[in-house]
């Protein structure tokens, strides 16, 4: 990345989310932090797509968003789909602009968007989940008439319009008939393509991340650090508590990022989390600063507020870097 582009697009911004499709096609959501007089949720955000095939030091396509609050990104084929906390959608390359997600009975606060086996799902509070079916078409797979058990405790709650904090904060799955979703205080559910079923986990804190690994296991992390692994009705706590922020699967392993800026993986023999090691080291100055991780088949991406590197299983590739530290100055 050139110094000129960094000064223009990153100097006053922070990276918030990441979604890689492959090593040459990685997106980020960043937020402009330059105006201290504007409330955090109102600061403008930007979708940034890394396209190194356009330029040897990386060419970036951008889309700006204003007054959108928390914003999340996923991919469907060659299109980027952006979801915000108001359950609004922008299908970036389809020029849809923001539109309200259809068939929304109770979803007042969006919390994320993800791709499961080629399908995109948006999810959020009041246990709302929507499956993308085509341009401006979404199927609500959590309607009350078909899934009344999802709303029994929501309907009993009278304290807030979002169901007293009841809802989904993380979602992942193996396919459309095997999906797991989690929320506040260990609230955890499984969807088999027809019905939702509540699962009791040995977690009593907010679930922050779920990863369905290619080893057939489901890894669930929480904000106070309890991590469990299992599937269906069999679950066990693994490792000592760590405040987990994100998780993903890459190269035959599950990886976790934590509040302390470290990356961990699971050691099956030790039945514990260990600090991840790689064939080549990412820069030492990124330790304790790492905000999150994301992955695809080709790479694992780690990022701080202002830096991002992608690991292909052998070496780290500079994606976004402070010019004074970059090899591309």
What's the pLDDT tens digit per position in 126-171? 999 999 999 999 999 999 999 999 999 888 765 444 545 889 999 9
* In-domain check, residue 146: yes
Looking at the domain assignment, is residue 46 inside a domain? Answer: no
Q: Is the pLDDT of residue 58 over 50?
A: no
List the Cα angle 211/217/218 in 5-degree steps.
35
Question: Between the CA of residue 229 and those of 16, 201, 218, 226, what are the distances in Å?
Answer: 26, 10, 6, 10
| Total count of domains within the chain | 1
Burial class (CB in 10 A: 0-12, 13-18, 19+), 37: exposed
Domain assignment present for residue 29? The answer is no
SS3 38: coil
Q: What percent of the chain is predicted at pLDDT more than 70?
A: 85
pLDDT at 101: 95
Q: What is the mean pLDDT of the chain?
A: 86
End-to-end CA distance of the chain: 8
Range of the domain at 162: 70-187
**Strands across the sheet with 196-198, in order?**
168-175, 178-183, 188-191, 196-198
Q: Does residue 42 lie within any of the structural domains? A: no
**Within a domain: 253:** no
**What does the pLDDT read at residue 57?**
43
DSSP annotation of 150: G
What value does the mean pLDDT take over residues 169-192? 96
Name the DSSP letter for residue 296.
-
Q: Do the domain assignments include residue 320?
A: no
Domain for residue 166, yes or no? yes
Query: Which of 29-33, 58-62, 181-185, 203-207 shows the lowest mean pLDDT across its residues?
Result: 58-62
Tokens 């079916």 -> residue: 133
Q: Is residue 53 in some structural domain?
A: no
């Amino acid at each position: 990345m050139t110094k000129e582009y960094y000064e223009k697009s990153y100097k006053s911004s922070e990276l918030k989310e990441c979604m890689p499709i492959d090593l040459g096609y990685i997106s980020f959501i960043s937020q402009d932090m330059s105006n201290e007089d504007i409330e955090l949720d109102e600061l403008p955000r930007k979708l940034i797509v890394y396209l190194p095939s356009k330029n040897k030091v990386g060419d970036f396509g951008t889309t700006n968003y204003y007054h959108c609050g928390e914003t999340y990104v996923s991919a469907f084929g060659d299109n980027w789909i952006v979801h915000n906390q108001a359950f609004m959608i922008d299908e970036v390359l389809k020029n849809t602009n923001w539109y309200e997600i259809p068939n929304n009975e109770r979803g007042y606060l969006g919390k994320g968007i993800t791709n499961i086996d080629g399908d995109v799902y948006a999810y959020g509070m009041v246990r709302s989940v929507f499956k993308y079916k085509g341009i401006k078409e979404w199927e609500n797979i959590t309607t009350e008439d078909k899934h009344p058990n999802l709303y029994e405790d929501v309907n009993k709650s009278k304290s807030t319009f979002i169901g007293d904090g009841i809802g989904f904060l993380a979602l992942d799955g193996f396919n459309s008939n095997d999906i797991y979703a989690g929320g506040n205080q260990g609230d955890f559910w499984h969807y088999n393509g027809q019905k939702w079923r509540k699962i009791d986990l040995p977690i009593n804190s907010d679930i922050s991340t779920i990863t369905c690994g290619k080893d057939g296991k489901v890894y669930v992390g929480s904000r106070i650090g309890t991590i469990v692994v299992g599937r269906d009705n069999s679950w066990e706590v693994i490792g000592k508590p760590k405040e987990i922020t994100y998780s993903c699967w890459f190269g035959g392993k599950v990886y976790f990022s934590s509040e302390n800026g470290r990356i961990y993986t699971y050691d099956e023999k030790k039945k514990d989390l260990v600090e991840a090691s790689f064939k080549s080291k990412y820069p030492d100055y990124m330790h304790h600063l790492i905000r999150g991780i994301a992955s695809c088949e080709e790479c694992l991406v780690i990022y701080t507020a202002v830096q991002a590197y992608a690991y292909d299983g052998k070496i780290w590739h500079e994606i976004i870097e402070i010019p004074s530290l970059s090899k591309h100055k």
